[in-house]
Amino acid sequence: MARKGVILVLALSAGASIPAVKSNSKAVLLLGEMLTPVKLLSAAPEPRFSTVALQGGRADLYEGRTTMPGVVLVHGVAPGGPADVRVVQVAKSLNRLGRTVLAPYLALGEQRLDRTDTARVRQSIDYLHNKTGDRVLVLAFSFGAALSLVAMEEEPAIQEKVVELATVGTYFDLVHLLQGVTAGRVNAPGGVTDEWSPDPRAGKAVTEFLANYLDPADEKAVVKAYEDRDPEGLSPEGRAIYDLMVNKDPARTQELVGALPAGLGELIADLSPAAQIDRIRIPVSAMHSRQDPASPPSESELLVASLEPPATGRVTRVGSFRHVTPARGLGLLKDVGPLIGFVSGVFGVQDRWGLYL
């Protein structure tokens, strides 16, 4: 069985000289590896793994036997960051299909929003561009996708080293997410609002996330007040977070975000791609679950609708994912076409570079 697997991998990946055929073949192999019990890629050699130092951080590097096109793999709010088993699986699979992969460690892995994460994304792009000698693909998930956009908006020149940004389950504006979690309605293209059903645990999770920026005593008090729906005794800073999280009027969300403790409202604005989306000049491919409970699909629609030339964008909606985690079993069948199209398109931007496994 292992021998047959090697033959199929070679036939599909290395033997297809036409870029479109190569990228389609690799899409099938990658999706099979990630979503089914058939693990043909396990027959390919293990990547050479190391952890490299970046200015102010570090990243996990997956190399092959030869220099291959680079992918910067940006995690979301995943405990452990690149060490998360899902991130490791994606990184190894991408490497076995002909990519050098670099996965930076972000503060997101510690459940924190941190302005310096955007600098770590840029450093990763720069490092991998220098290592491979070519523009890199950035593949980013959830909050990490939004921070990747912000990283490129802050220093647009870094986009000269990027061939495309591929996002999965991103957000466009953090205010929209807060509005959706609290009021159940989110902004959509055309100036309308849509109903959205967030994860039932989202309210408490976001309250804890915001309260983390207060001192420990205030942090605990805000979380308890939210659970009890009783703000008695909260500090002014804690009351501002409480008022936002119990608000049910979508028209008030922006005002309540502006009243958050010093620095927190600014952080939400600064880490929202919507603020400077006109600075994006590269292609963006966005995939989003139709029933995403963590980030509404309208966020990817707004992102792509807001791009200005020369930037281009496309949105692929799927029904078999829960945020960024794929379903298992027969539920995936209805998304086979869209998934192959998305992954093949992402691979295709680099498959013009000759032959490699």
Please check whether residue 2 lies inside any domain of the structure: no
Domain match, 138 and 54 both: yes
SS3 state of residue 111 = coil
Domain match, 220 and 284 both: no
Q: Are strands 100-104 and 57-63 parallel, antiparallel or unpaired?
A: antiparallel
Round to whole Å and give the CA distance between 287 and 130. 28
pLDDT digits (tens, 9 = 90+) for 306-317: 999 999 999 999
Please check whether residue 66 lies inside any domain of the structure: yes
Please check whether residue 4 lies inside any domain of the structure: no
Please check whether residue 162 lies inside any domain of the structure: yes
Please check whether residue 34 lies inside any domain of the structure: no
- Domain boundary (249, 269, 289) is at 269
Domain that holds residue 111: 48-173+272-330
Domain match, 297 and 261 both: no
pLDDT digits (tens, 9 = 90+) for 14-69: 444 455 666 777 777 777 776 666 677 777 788 999 999 998 899 999 998 778 99
Buried b (16+ CB within 10 A) or exposed e, 253-286: beebbeebbeebbeebebbbbbeebebbbbbbbb
What proportion of the chain, given as a percentage, has pLDDT over 90?
66
Round to whole Å and give the CA distance between 340 and 77. 26
- Residue 199 is classified by DSSP as -
Buried b (16+ CB within 10 A) or exposed e, 129-149: bebbebbbbbbbbbbbbbbbb
Q: Are 260 and 268 in contact (CB under 8 A)?
A: yes
Residue with more model confidence, 18 or 284: 284
Domain match, 283 and 166 both: yes
pLDDT digits (tens, 9 = 90+) for 134-187: 999 999 999 999 999 999 999 999 999 999 999 999 999 999 999 999 999 999
Round to whole Å and give the CA distance between 16 and 8. 11
Residue 341 C-alpha from the chain's centroid: 18
Domain match, 204 and 157 both: no
Mention every residue, 6+ apart, whose C-beta is less than 8 A from residue 76: 108, 140, 141, 142, 143, 144, 145, 169, 324
Mean pLDDT computed over every residue of the chain:
88
